[in-house]
Structure 1
Amino acid sequence: MRRWLALLVAATTSLVLIALLVPMALLIRAVAENGAMSRATAAAESVAVAVGAPDLPLTVEQVSRPVTVFLPDGTTVGSPARRSDAVRLAATGRSVTAAAPGGREVLVSAQSPGGTAVIRVFVPDDELGRGVREAWLALLLIGLGLVVLGIVLADRLALAVTRPVDGLAGVSHRLAGGDLTARAEPGGPPEVRSVALALNHLAGRIDELLAAERESVADLSHRLRTPLTGLRLDAESLRDPEEAARVQARVDALERAVSAVITEARRRTAGRESCDAAAVVGERVRFWSVLAEDQGREVTVTLPDGPLPVAVGAEELAACVDALLGNVFAHTPEGVAMSVRLRPHPPGALLTVEDTGPGFEPALLERGTSGAGSTGLGLDIARRTAESTGGGLTVATGDRGGARVELLLGAP
């Protein structure tokens, strides 16, 4: 936009200057020619006064320009010149000016005792255009200066418009990225300020709607807990222990699914949080280590010495780690070793979970893909958690042939 405004102002200014400076340049040339001709006419008239006087040759010599006097008897005084048609016309008593090779000639008739004499004063082209080129150059420089000044002023004006617009674009990108605290600074022309105020109003309205959604999620959690509690009581009242355990397991699975849905909805509507990844990963590994010990699994843990902040809440990261470790227990035989490594990595931290089992297909990354009877949502939850921080998730074959999952988390 700045470039287009600059080009528009340059074109407009150039047209205006051409319309103004071209007539001015022609006027300067006409003034210079008229001045030279006026001076030549004055010199011819000063000589015409001395026609018929004995000191005519002395008067002609005193004139500081080529002067020729054609006397009625056919003789000439002063600079030699041919008797042209214009001279013969002036001999009839008319004062004229005519073009001549290399300039112009001024012819003034004067009466003498023997008839009509003609005084010729030659004006060279250099005198006719004296000072014209310099004046034209000055006009050209002034025109170029005005064009440059117009472009600079247009660029400043365009910057005053584009800078607020760029700010609006930045705020819209931040809102699209989930930063609901982003607000535009009203500035620039009234129209741009109106757009900034409208964008701020829209952001505030989105925040209000998300707050209402959080309230709805909280209400939903209470509504769902009541029937789940009833199902749990019904399961406990069954007489067959195996049937009771089976129904109880189904109820527990349903409760976990409902809790995951509610947690995910709250995560999307809440503001961005952060936590110490080293503390969360260490705590979840200790939790799963009890089961690993029962199954004879060797667990290797590598954590950084100090805190490692990441742009995700502690509950979300814990659920993500549980999903990754749960996949190992669910898809590998008992006794298969596993390792958990957490280390700093741009843009934040890299969590690697690796096992020595048979591995699994990368197709499990697709939402809803099931393997070994699972729901296929564990890796999807981990992937979305990583992507929400600006990172990502990759699955590959480990160094010992098992599955290796790398979770890249962004810094807060």
Structure 2
Amino acid sequence: MRVAVSAVLVALVLLAGPLAWVIHRSFFEDERGALERTALAATVTVGPEFASGDALELTPPRPGGKLGVYDLASRLRAGSGGPVADRVTREAAGGRAVSGRTGADLVVAVPVVSEEKVIAVVRATVPARSVWTRVLWGWALLLGVTLAALATAVLVARRQARALSTPVEALSRTARAIADGDLGARAAPCGITELDQLANSQNSMVERLTQLLRRERDFSANASHQLRTPLTGLQLGLEAARQLPPGSDLRPALREALETARHLEETVEEVLRLARSGTEDEPPLPREALVRVLERAESRWHGALAAAGRRLEVRSQPGAGSFEVPGRTTAQILDVLIDNALRHGRGATSVTAREAAGAVAVDVADEGTLTLDPGTVFARGGTGGSGTGIGLAVARELAEAAGGRLSLRGAEPTTFTLLLPGAQG
């Protein structure tokens, strides 16, 4: 607003200064012109007989002014004025009209010519203060117009400043809300192109930061959930090996520990890959035959289910086992589904691979009944027991990152279906 008002004020000063000078000059020039016309009209009444002393009847002078006729001896012969001619009047005796100031009066003197000789001088005057009165009134009017223009500029500047400051303040409030932790805050458009571009940039930045924070939070939760089972298995295997009698063959326990460590490494890589999914630096997925993935899953989970008095059945329909699938991703998803069946299901757990219209489907089922709302079964935090409610959400994200789909096929008995793209090896 200060910039706008200052610009208008400078413009008004630059305009009002010359206008004030023009008003002053034009009013005084107009008055001199009127005096000259009055003097010229009076010269008509001065004839050749003026020199012989005849009386003259002069036209009326200007309001408040004087009109007189002087002879060449600089004496007042008719009308009003000083008894002796002033400088202006004496100059006019040279044969040309002269204007000037005498004291506080404006003076115009016009020579009277007869037979190509100057025989007298007509002198017209008016007080300068009467002209200054009109000049001051003109300046007052100019000042009023200037102040009105300045007031209008202030009002317009305030309105424009408010129109500009309101969206800027809204952006500031949004930025403060984001700084306070409200990552859902977004800047609204205001119709000003530059500010809308700034708002879009801020929203894009916040969206990117939100995604990064969500990825970091999900990575922590996913890593905690996915590493828990293999770490527990590794610990139990090592504890069992430690309790063997001296001299026992530790090679089977070591092989099992190495296998668990390898699976643990794959789990870490899958969690990292899931955190990087959708980015340009996402590595390609290694592929292997589905039958080998199923065999390793059976090896990992057969003991855990048997310890709970339950049976694990892994079977592959003709042609399905030879499909090439993302091995580590499929293994992680199967671990989640089998672990879910172990914790929340009952009875035998079956894993069945089948061909499905050029793709491969893997069904994981148990003899239990789903107690959760099917619409929220894959939501983070949704759990029907003592679990964290993260596993199924991670499994679905892994499937989608691999180009597949994980869905709930049935609630009684509980059946999940993993559909993966693949080609027969």
Task: State TM-score, norm by structure 2.
Answer: 0.49
- Aligned 8 A contact 1:47 1:56 in 2: no
Structure 2 equivalent of residue 105 of structure 1? 107
Q: Residue deviations 1:370-405, cap 9 Å, x none?
A: xxxxxxxxxxxxxxxxxxxxxxxxxxxxxxxxxxxx
Deviation at 1:138, TM superposition (A): 1.6
- 1:149-168 residue pairs with structure 2 within 5 A? 149-168=152-171
Distance in 2 of aligned mates of 1:185 and 1:126: 64
Pairs within 5 Å for 1:243-262: none
CA distance in 1, matches of 2:113, 2:91: 14
1:47-105, Cα deviation, whole Å (9 max, x unpaired):
11111368854325676531111134745212141222332332232221232011221
- Output the CA distance in 2 between the equivalents of 1:115 and 1:199: 90
Larger radius of gyration: 2
Q: What is the aligned counterpart of 1:212 among 210, 215, 227?
A: 215
CA contact (8 A) 2:107 2:126 kept: yes
Structure 1 contact 92–116 (Cα < 8 Å) conserved: no
Residue aligned with 1:116, SS: strand
Give 5+ residue unaligned stretches, structure 2: 244-380, 382-425
Q: Contact 1:109–1:119 (CA<8 Å) still a contact in 2?
A: yes
CA gap of 1:218–1:129, structure 2 versus 1, over 3 A, is same
Please, which of 92, 95, 98 is the counterpart of residue 94 of structure 2? 92
Contact in 1 for aligned 2:4/2:157 (Cα 8 Å): yes
The answer to whether structure 1 residue 22 and structure 2 residue 17 are counterparts is yes
Residues 160 and 115 of structure 1, relative CA distance in 2, 3 Å threshold: closer
Map 1:292-311 to 2 at 5 A.
none
Shift of 1:184: 1.0
Does 1:71 find its partner at 2:75?
no
Pick closer, same or farther for the CA change 1:212–1:58 going to 2, 3 Å: same
CA RMSD of aligned residues (A): 3.2
2:182 counterpart of 1:179? yes
Give the corresponding residue for 1:374. none
Aligned-pair distance for 1:129? 2.4
The yes-or-no answer on 1:133 pairing with 2:136 is: yes
- Which letter does structure 1 place at the counterpart of 2:68? T
Equivalence map 1:250-399=2 (5 Å): none
Aligned equivalent of 2:200: 197
Aligned amino acid, residue 26 of structure 2: V
Partner of 2:38: 43
Partner of 1:169: 172
Answer whether contact 1:93 1:116 (CA < 8 A) is retained: no
Amino acid in the other structure paired with 1:185: A
Give SS of 1:205's match: helix
Aligned residues: 236
Q: Which 5+ residue runs of structure 1 have no aligned equivalent?
A: 1-5, 240-312, 314-412
Q: Is the 8 A contact 1:68 1:119 kept in 2?
A: yes
CA distance in 2, matches of 1:95, 1:203: 84
User: Is the partner of 2:122 in helix, strand or coil?
Assistant: strand
**Selected match of 2:151 from 132, 148, 151:** 148
Tell me the equivalent position of 1:32: 27
1:101-141 deviation per Cα after TM superposition (whole angstroms, max 9, x unaligned): 11221111113599611111112112332421111112122
Q: What is the CA-CA distance between 1:186 and the residue it aligns to?
A: 1.9
CA 92–197 in structure 1, closer or farther in 2 if over 3 Å, else same? closer
Could you say which residue in structure 1 is the equivalent of 2:231?
227
Q: Is residue 122 of structure 1 aligned with residue 125 of structure 2?
A: yes
Residue identity opposite 1:104 in structure 2: L
